[in-house]
Amino acid sequence: MHMSWQNKMYKLGNNIFDLDNISSIASQYPEDVNTNPIGSYGVGVQSDAKHRAASARASDAFYDMMGYTPLRFLPKSFKEPIADTYSLAGGTGVELIGSLFDYAKSGFKDKNYLTAAKEDLVSDYKGSFGTPYGTSTADIMNNVYKENNYNTKYNNIFNAGTIDVEDYSTTQQRVQAERAAQAQAAAQAAAQAAAQAQQQQQKQYQTKMSDVYKNVTVDNSGNKGYTGTGSQGRGAYFQTPAYRGQQAAASVDRKAKSMGVASPVRRTPGTKYGFGL
């Protein structure tokens, strides 16, 4: 099957930079929209992770290729910097073609392209000189996400069923306190309503009794208006000579009746018992 040159270039790039794997890992995380400090210029956490991984893969590829050249006899400590230099040079070339070309198209006015180029070159440097040979793409990218506290898209789904015991206990205590406060408030309201009802009943009783007392005859002259105080008080009346005399006459009357003789007590008109024999 014939393969177009574009597909051949992509396959070559994929083999060198591990592009499919980089895209697969990056797809598990949110886009750069919330971490891009200058807008849509290809910078942010995702861009950093991709550039580091691609630059590291390029360094490893150049290192492996030196195994087929006379440089294979050099110690590893010499070959790694050489491979990193080739990788960083390639990244710089990409930025010249990309961000700097866009900067030129803007009439050399939009300096955000320069900022984006700088950020990408820093990422390329970290991926080449700052990453040991053989570090996996997944480890490189996950370290970048970890450094920036960048969680996967599925983080909340996996944590949805987790219950924080301390938070639950605090919530339970709060609910119990709220219920106790509600019960106390209800009891106070009920007590207040009962007190108001009792006051209303007492007021109605006093009003009714006032009407009754106004029409009570209080003496032999037919005067009305019982007050329950002064000469109208039962306590005061019980201490009067008239009351004591009536009690004495009644006692004599009962004794005479028990003996079958007429009572010697003389009746005084207008009273139940008279005084004197």
pLDDT at position 37: 56
Q: How high is the pLDDT of residue 212? A: 67
Q: Which amino acid is at 131?
A: T
147: tokens are: 């450094």
pLDDT in tens, 173-221: 777 888 888 888 888 888 888 888 888 888 887 777 777 667 766 666 6
pLDDT at 277: 37
Domain count, the chain: 1
Where the chain has pLDDT below 70, the residues are 1-14, 32-42, 153-171, 212-213, 216-222, 225-248, 264-277
In a domain, 76, yes or no: yes
55 occurs within a structural domain? yes
Residue type, 174: R
Residue 241 lies in a domain: no
Per the domain annotation, does 87 fall within a domain?
yes
The answer to whether residue 66 sits within a structural domain is yes
Which pTM does this prediction carry?
0.51
252 occurs within a structural domain: no
In this prediction, residue 140 carries a pLDDT of 93
User: Which is it for the CA torsion 148, 154, 158, 161, positive or negative?
Assistant: positive
Does the residue 92 lie in any domain? yes
Q: Does the residue 14 lie in any domain?
A: yes
**Domain limits for position 150:** 8-159
The pLDDT value given to residue 275: 45
State the SS3 of the chain: CCCCHHHHHHHHHHHHHCHHHHHHHHCCCCCHHHCCCCCCCCCCHHHHHHHHHHHHHHHHHHHHHHHHCHHHHCCHHHHHHHHHHHHHHHHHHHHHHCHHHHHHHCCCCCCHHHHHHHHHHHHHHHHHCCCCCCCCHHHHHHHHHHHCCCCCCCHHHHHCCCCCHHHHHHHHHHHHHHHHHHHHHHHHHHHHHHHHHHHHHHHHHHHHHHHHHHCCECCCCCCECCCCCHHHCHHHHHCCHHHHHHHHHHHHHHHHHHHCCCCCCCCCCCCCCCCCC
